[in-house]
Amino acid sequence: MANIKVGPLNRGLFITGTGTEVGKTYVTALIARQLVAEGVRVGVYKPAASGCHQEGGTLVSDDALVSNDAVALWEAAGRPLSLEAVCPQRFAAPLAPHRAAREEGRRVDAALLRSGYDVWRDAFDFVLVEGAGGLMSPLSDDDYNADLAIDLGLPLVVVAANRLGVINDTLQTVITASVIDSLRPGKELRVAGVVLNDVAPTGDASRATNAAELDERVGPPLLGCVKWAGGIDRAVNWQAL
Ligand X SMILES: Nc1ncnc2c1ncn2[C@@H]1O[C@H](COP(=O)(O)OP(=O)(O)OP(=O)(O)O)[C@@H](O)[C@H]1O
Ligand Y SMILES: C[C@H](N)[C@H](N)CCCCCC(=O)O
Binding site for ligand X (CB under 6 A): 17, 20-26, 69, 133, 197-199, 226, 228-229
Q: 12 or 51, CB closer to ligand X?
A: 51
Residue type, 126: F
Q: Is 16 in the site for Mg ion (CB under 5 A)?
A: no
Q: Is 119 labeled as ligand-binding?
A: no
Give the span between the Cα atoms of 170 and 159, in whole angstroms.
9
In the complex, minimum distance from the CB of residue 206 to ligand Y, in angstroms, rounded to a whole number? 23
Q: Is 24 labeled as ligand-binding?
A: yes
Cα-based angle 167, 170, 176 (whole degrees, multiple of 5)? 130
Identify what 199 binds: ligand Y, ligand X, Mg ion, none; CB under 5 to 8 Å per kind.
Answer: ligand X
The residues assigned a catalytic role are 46
From 13, 132, 177, 195, residue interacting with ligand Y (rule: CB under 6 A): 132
How many Cα atoms occupy the beta-carbon half-sphere of 162 within 13 Å?
24
Q: 5 or 234, CB closer to ligand X?
A: 234
Give the span between the Cα atoms of 102 and 23, in whole angstroms.
26
Taken in order 134, 137, 138, 144, is the CA torsion positive or negative? positive
Alpha-carbon distances of 29 from 18, 46, 128, 157, rounded to whole Å:
17, 12, 9, 13
Positions touching ligand Y (CB under 6 A) are 20, 50-51, 94, 96, 132-134, 137
Chain residues binding Mg ion by CB under 5 A are 24-25, 69
